[in-house]
Structure 1
């Protein structure tokens, strides 16, 4: 029988790994929702794009169906390694975010929320279908590297109390927490971050004070997109890839994270993501068939007991 302390430590580590991905997703979504009051259902599509861009940058991939395969293309990808993917994926996500804000979000700022939901959900479906038709609907294996920064991450590492733990998953925890910390510092310690924080609390007052918050909207949207794409890259390194992952692995967890943490709250996105990650980890290692049920029950209970979330302060933008 495995000692209780080992179980708890393993649950916490796995929870941190999954929670870090949730926190990245929730962080990107909450700064967009809080600052711009824009409901972006295409957030999962950005995760999906990040996963597939990471796949193509990291390795050569063999195709067995799809539009490219019908044209005689059987292998795609640059085989550039995971370090290249770590650089390229956030840049691609940032660029896509800029385009989305300019051509998708901006025309709908003053439109009803239902219009925002429909156009972004439609965009998510379009992205999914493009990937499915061009690259194919096959499932690809995870894209974790063998080495990173000269260290072998393919073998487990011995940790105190826990014992053997996959070294790559440990690296994921570290790099995700670093990105989260950098994002938090950028929002808490820079002028741009002050505008974002003020916008999440009262965007109309920010405008009345003479601050041209619209100039920050593109950067906010692009930053949120880059975080989602980066989450897609590290998520794809431990899980299989398919065109459907944007919804079940990204969009729903992102919204659950900000429901628990509080819409528009940076601290809430981080705390909510980590909390949900630990819950999923605990249930997966004990009663895996109940993991999703318990997760949704917990979120429902949060809505009843504290509808504004752990760090929320009422409706965003009030």
Structure 2
């Protein structure tokens, strides 16, 4: 493979990995920046989206969960991926509304430690509930083959001017993420709703004094953040194994994306997710290298690399690369 081909594959894989973090981090960043609420259950929303999408798209076998004991050895609607892409965000949006109303809102004025404890506990409840109902088994998504009109959604595709092939689905993940980012950015930056949300981020007391009920915009924004996490579970499902613990696994990179990009910034979430994705993929692609006569395996350092990146950003720009110092404080 030529250098250009390797660079293209690295770029696509890095952008695709970062795209999942971006979808998670946008909602997490806006919720944290607007509502001042630390939501450690955001990964649970990703898990809900992944499992609901799995059941909508295909049929799965349940071997050792409660559902199997109750007479449901198989579960699934087999409606296809695009049905999941429409239904999952609506369902997780409603879950997000319920979470804001009954979990987050009573803790807005409580210390951060209380918010962390209650949301972390909620994440564990969701994880153990999936364990009990479906079991700990790992599942794989079936990537859709094509959309109406013969447009391919999976399989290799050649890159112009090189002999390199890349997975089409990775490109689709990047495209879907880009479309959603543009939509959320337009809502936040160019609508009255977004104006209220941004004003509430900087001075919620003044917004209340102006007679604006910011609880409703906060409720909707929480729901939008939850829906994005659900979509991340659907589009990321075909690229990784789905199990009950995956929400906890993906939560840390999502928070680091917010830290690197800046709290409350959509553009910061995009930049942070992209950087984390590129760092991870680059270190994994290096594999084992010989340095100074010693053989060094860079793959296990992929997770360490994103922490190093976060430390460098925090030391040089504590509010994040594109974050507001006022919001960060």
With the shorter chain as reference, the TM-score category is over 0.9
Q: Could you tell me the TM-score, scaled by structure 2's length?
A: 0.92
2:59–2:77 CA contact under 8 A, matched in 1: yes
Number of equivalences:
316
| 2:294 corresponds to | none
| 2:261 corresponds to | 261
- Structure number with higher relative contact order (C-alpha < 8 Å, ≥ 6 residues apart): 1
- Partner residue of 1:294 out of 281, 300, 305: 305
Counterpart of 2:173 in 1: which secondary structure?
helix
Which protein shows a greater Rg? 2
Counterpart of 1:316 in 2: which secondary structure?
helix
> How much does 1:54 deviate?
0.4
> How much does 1:209 deviate?
3.0
> How much does 1:284 deviate?
1.6
Deviating beyond 6 angstroms after TM superposition, the runs of 4 or more aligned structure 1 residues are none
Alignment of 1:207-218 (within 5 A): 207-218=208-219
1:303 aligns with 2:314: yes
Deviations 1:155-203 (A, max 9, x none): 2111225621111111111111111111111111111111122222232
| 2:115 corresponds to | 116
1:189 aligns with 2:190: yes
Alignment of 1:85-234 (within 5 A): 85-149=84-148, 150-161=150-161, 163-234=164-235
1:78 aligns with 2:66: no
Q: Could you tell me the TM-score, scaled by structure 1's length?
A: 0.95
> How much does 1:82 deviate?
0.3
> How much does 1:315 deviate?
5.2
Range 206-215 or range 46-55, more displaced: 206-215
Deviations 1:37-68 (A, max 9, x none): 01100000000000000000000111111101
2:262–2:328 CA contact under 8 A, matched in 1: no
Q: How far apart, in 1, do the equivalents of 2:96 and 2:245 lie?
A: 20
| 2:285 corresponds to | 285
Uncovered stretches (5+) of structure 2, i.e. residues with no partner: 287-297
